[in-house]
Amino acid sequence: MTTTVAPVRLAVIPGDGVGPEVVAATVPVLQRAAEGTGLDLQVTELDWGGERFLREGAAMPADAADVVRAHDAVLFGAVGRPDVPDDELVWGLIIGLRQQLDLAVNVRPVHAFPGVPTRVVDTDGVDLVIVRENTEGEYVGAGGLAHAGTGHDIGIEVAVHSRRVIERAARHAFELAGRRSGRLSLVTKSNAMRHGYPLWDRVVREVAEQHPDVELEVVLVDAMAARLVQSPRSLDVLLAGNLFGDILSDLAAVLAGGMGMAPSANVLPGGDVPGIYEPVHGSAPDIAGRGVANPVACLLSGALLLEDLGHTVAATGIRQAVSAALLDPTHHTPDLGGSATTTDLAAAVLDRMEI
Ligand code: ATP
Ligand code: MG
C-alpha cells in the first residue's frame, strides 16, 4: 500500500547577520526529519534582506506576499544590518510581511532543556507557551504629541483592543491549551486600565464557554511577572495582548537559556495563510560572521513549523535530537557558557536524529 502525503512547500529566508548561519544549520535537520518520515520537503530559498536592499534598492520584491502565499510555510532567519536603515528591513520586510499576511498571533514556546544553564533558580521542567496578540494594543501607533516643544510636551499613546482580534487570539490559545495540559492563563491589567483589558477579560471568558475542557485563570500582568520567575512550572499556556506578550516572552525566554533558545511562530489562526517561523532573536551583528550563534532557536522554530503542518513525528524527532545534544555541555555555544560553534551544535543534533 502506498500513501500519498502532500509535499511541503517551504520558503526559506535566511536574511542577515546570524540569520543565514542559523538557517544553514537548520535546513539539513528539517530535511533529515522529512526523509525519516517520508515527507517530500521542497525548499525554495529567497534572498530577501539587507544585501538585496544594497544591491537592488529593495529588500524584497513588490509581490513578496504573493510569493509567500505560494508556499505552505516560511522559515525566517533574521534581518537587520548596521548599514541599512531598520525601516527597510525590520519594518519593511518582516513586520511588513506579518501585516500583509495578517499573521495576527505570535506563539512563543519556552522549554527548559535539561543540562542548559539558565542563571535563574530551578527551571527544571519548565514548559510553557506564550500566545501574543500581534497587531493591536499599545503598538498600533495611535495618539500624538500635544504642546510639542513648549516644555510641557505631552505624548499620547492610544491602545486599541477589538473583540474580533481578541477572539481569534483566544480561540488559538484555547485550542493549544486543549492539546496540552488544559490550563490557560489570561494576562491583563484590569484593576488599573478601565476599557481595553476588561474587554479582554469579558471576551476571553465568553470564548472559554466553548472550551469546557480548558481551565481559565485571569492573572494581572504584574503578578504574572513575579510568577514566571517564582513558579514557572505552574504555568502552561499564557494568552496576552501585544505589549504584555512582548515583555513577558523575553522574560520567559531567559527561563530556557536566553535568546539563542527561543523559537516563535507568526500565524493567522483559522486562516489559510502560511505561517512565518523564526527565532525570536534578531540578526545579532555583535556575533555575526564568527560562526558561534546558537542555532537552537531556529531549529525549534523549524520543529514548530512541521508540527503546525501536522507532521508531529518529524517535529518531535527534531526536539528529541536537540534535547539529547544539549545534555552534553561540549556542544554548548558561547551564549550557553560553552565553546562549541554553530556547526558543532548542529552536527550534534543531526547525529542524534532517530527518525
Ligand atoms: P533586533 O533589533 O534585530 O532584535 P537586537 O540587537 O535587539 O536586534 P538580537 O539580535 O536578538 O537583538 O541580539 C541581542 C543579544 O543576544 C546580542 O548580544 C546577541 O549577540 C545575542 N544573541 C542573539 N541571537 C543569538 C544566538 N542565536 N546565539 C547567541 N547569541 C545570540
Ligand atoms: Mg531585539
Q: Is 100 in the same domain as 131?
A: no
Look up residue 142 and give its amino acid: A
Alpha carbon distance 235, 244 (integer Å): 16
| Contact (Cβ atoms closer than 8 angstroms) between residue 129 and residue 107 | yes
Distances (CA, A) of 95 to 43, 88, 92, 176: 23, 10, 6, 24
**In the block, residue with C-alpha cell 510641557:** 152
Whether residue 217 is found in the same domain as residue 306:
no
Distance 354 CA to ligand 2 centre (A): 34
Which residue's alpha carbon is nearest to atom 17 within ligand 1? 284
Q: What CA–CA distances, in Å, run from 217 to 114, 154, 169, 243, 308? A: 29, 36, 16, 19, 26
Phi/psi at 333 (nearest 5 deg)? -80, 170
Among 6, 16, 8, 53, residue whose Cα is nearest residue 278: 16
Same domain, 122 and 252: yes
Confirm whether 250 is a catalytic residue. Answer: yes
* Ligand closest in space to the Cα of 86: 1
How buried is 146 (Cβ within 10 angstroms: 0-12 exposed, 13-18 middle, 19+ buried)? exposed
Query: pLDDT (tens digit, 9 = 90+) per residue, 141-174?
Result: 899 999 999 999 999 999 999 999 999 999 999 9
Res 91: pLDDT: 75
Q: Which ligand is nearest to the CA of 282?
A: 1
Q: CB count, 10 Å around CB of 269?
A: 19
Instruction: Quote the pLDDT of residue 1.
Output: 42
Whether 47 is catalytic is: no
Strands 105-111 and 127-133: antiparallel
| Sign of CA pseudo-dihedral 196, 252, 179, 8 | positive
Q: Which three cell numbers stand for residue 107?
A: 506563539
Residues 21 and 44 reside in one and the same domain: yes
Ligand 1 atom with the smallest distance to the CA of 279 is: 27
* pLDDT tens digits, one per residue of 191-206: 999 999 999 999 999 9
Residues 100 and 211 in one domain: no
Rounded distance from Cα 279 to ligand 1 centre (Å): 10
| 209 and 268 inside one domain | no
> Locate cell 539587507: which residue?
50
Nearest CA to ligand 1 atom 20: 284
- ipTM rounded to 2 decimals: 0.94
Q: How many folded domains does the chain comprise? A: 2
Of 221, 236, 256, the position where a domain reaches its end is 256
Q: Is residue 158 domain-shared with residue 276, that is, in the same domain?
A: no
Q: Cβ neighbours of residue 325 under 8 Å, at least 6 residues apart?
A: 331, 345, 348, 349, 351, 352
Are both 155 and 188 inside the same structural domain?
Answer: yes
Pocket of ligand 1 (CB under 6 A): 18, 22, 78, 80, 259-260, 281-284, 286-287, 293-294, 297, 335
Active site residue 139: yes
**Alpha helices (H) in the chain, listed in sequence order:** 19-36, 50-56, 64-69, 86, 96-100, 163-179, 196-209, 221-230, 242-255, 296-308, 312-326, 342-351
Q: Model pTM? A: 0.92
Encode pLDDT of 227-245 as tens digits.
999 999 999 999 999 999 9
How many residues in total does the chain contain? 355
Q: Using CA positions, which residue lies closest to atom 5 of ligand 1?
A: 282
Sign (positive or negative) of CA dihedral 303, 305, 310, 311? negative
* Whole-angstrom distance, CA of residue 184 vs CA of residue 160: 23
227 and 145 in a common domain: yes
- Counting from 1 in the atom list of ligand 1, the atom nearest the Cα of 78 is 3
Which of 256, 286, 312 terminates a domain? The answer is: 256
Same structural domain, 237 and 279: no
**Containing domain of residue 301, as a range?**
1-109+262-355
Among 210, 234, 256, which residue terminates a domain? 256
**Residue range 290-322, pLDDT digits in tens:** 999 999 999 999 999 999 999 999 999 999 999
User: For 108-146, what is each residue's pLDDT tens digit?
Assistant: 999 999 999 877 778 899 999 999 999 999 988 899 999
Q: Residue 208: which CATH number?
A: 3.40.718.10
Question: Of 16, 189, 308, 344, which is the active-site residue?
Answer: 189
Are 243 and 129 in the same domain? yes
Query: Shortest CA distance to 76 belongs to which of 133, 24, 23, 32?
Result: 23
Q: Are residues 133 and 241 in the same domain?
A: yes
